[in-house]
Amino acid sequence: MIILAVNAGSSSLKFTGFEMPSEDVLISGVFERIGIGNSFYTIKLNGEKKKKEVDLPNHKVAFEILIKELIDNKIVESLDEIKGVGHRIVQGGAYFDKTEIATAEVIEKIDELSSLAPLHNPAAIVGIKAAKEVMPKALQTVVFDTAFHQTMKETEYMYAVPYSWYKDYQVRKYGAHGTSHKYVSQRMNEILGRYDTKLITCHIGNGASISAVKNGKCVDTSMGLTPNAGLIMGSRCGDMDATVVTYVMEKTGMSPKEMDTILNKQSGLLGISGVSSDSRDIEEGINSGNERCKLAQDMYVKRIVEYISKYYVLLEGCDAIVFTAGVGENSIMTRKQILDKLGVLGIKVDEEANNVRGIERKITTDDSKIPAYIIPTNEELMIAKDTYSLVLQD
């Protein structure tokens, strides 16, 4: 059977079609500029990539084109072969701790949670409704970025602010990238051949987060109420003294919205270096002697090491450290710098093994006290697997 994993943004729709249970990718791509003119889509199938400019007034038309491509390219004979569509949802609040079928009640709840993810949840609902219209017989499911983190305890998810903020405004830590942390921790357990493990999973991309995972369950994670907590990211500041915000707002007369933009889009590696949010540019800057790029990278690495260290203590040990996402999978320099700084824990990087990009492998020496691995993430497959199991139960 065919399962689609989709990620709807306000003007985009990313998709991957899997044959299940073989997990073979049949088709993948993205529709862009939906509803805003000059729209197009790129699609990869049968080893070929193509781009087409088309009118995409809404997400429903995008799904219709996707179905037409599937049929024209003989990937399916009819719509009925698509048994499930899994939708990525950014914010499931404290309400959703697992993948669910997208019933009217579930959609209403996702809508209610929009105040916590104003850009993302409403767009996902548009995607679900469009998919339901175009593929009424397929089971629609919702897979939450936050669900994996719902096993955190109060001591981990509460903030030390007036308790009424939690009661009245749901202010607490929800985390993000849960589907990725779940995928790589499951895969790590498969590699280790056991499930009673203590893992530290580092999803370091443009957005970045670290999770402490014990026996397959999340104990703590670095992102918070929003994705702007924890690590220094491409353009997000991550953890800092909260009073910096009110201090600078008073000094400059900046509005909350302007401040939000700066903290999310003009901070992090970009803010410190003044050069770029992209790790590759930072690395290039360092190689050409740019001091601020070096400072940005040193701070970036230090923060990651701080989180790994505190999760090592929280978990009372660690069976493996996992690196994933754009930087985690590809930056040889960043991984080495992190692991070198963890030498006090008996961790020893294997420089030759570490000299790769995007490949699943162990990157520490055999006598390293804790092994570290690169495990390329696959959120789409995780979405498809969850959806497939709900289709089987349906």
CB atoms within 10 A of CB 81: 14
Q: How many binding residues for ligand ADP (CB under 6 A)?
A: 13
| The binder of ligand ADP chosen from 179, 331, 354, 387 (CB under 6 A) | 331
Q: How far is the CB of 149 from ligand ADP (least distance, A)?
A: 17
SS3 content of the chain, % helix, strand, coil (to 5): 45, 20, 35
Q: How far is the CB of 206 from ligand ADP (least distance, A)?
A: 4
Nearer to ligand ADP, 92 or 227 (CB): 227
Q: What are phi and psi of 144, to 5 degrees?
A: -95, 135
Q: How far is the CB of 305 from ligand ADP (least distance, A)?
A: 18
Q: How far is the CB of 122 from ligand ADP (least distance, A)?
A: 20
Q: Examine residue 278 and tell whether it contacts ligand ADP (CB under 6 A).
A: yes
Nearer to ligand ADP, 31 or 300 (CB): 300
On the 0-12 / 13-18 / 19+ scale of CB atoms within 10 A, 103 is exposed
Nearer to ligand ADP, 41 or 323 (CB): 323
Q: Which amino acid is at 58?
A: N
CB atoms within 10 A of CB 87: 25
Selected catalytic residue, list 145, 319, 350, 386 = 145
Q: Interaction with ligand ADP in 207-226: which residues (CB under 6 A)?
A: 207
Q: Examine residue 93 and tell whether it contacts ligand ADP (CB under 6 A).
A: no
Nearer to ligand ADP, 52 or 280 (CB): 280
Q: Which of 141, 109, 114, 144 is nearest to 128 (CA)?
A: 141
| The binder of ligand ADP chosen from 84, 92, 178, 205 (CB under 6 A) | 205
CB atoms within 10 A of CB 261: 14
Residue 24 annotated among the catalytic residues of the structure: no
| The binder of ligand ADP chosen from 51, 52, 280, 369 (CB under 6 A) | 280
> Does an H or E element contain 141, and which?
strand 139-144
Q: Examine residue 279 and tell whether it contacts ligand ADP (CB under 6 A).
A: yes
CA distance 24 to 3: 10
CB atoms within 10 A of CB 207: 20
Peptide bond into 57 cis (omega under 30): no
In the complex, the residues that contact ligand ADP under the rule CB under 6 A are 205-207, 234, 278-280, 325-327, 330-331, 357
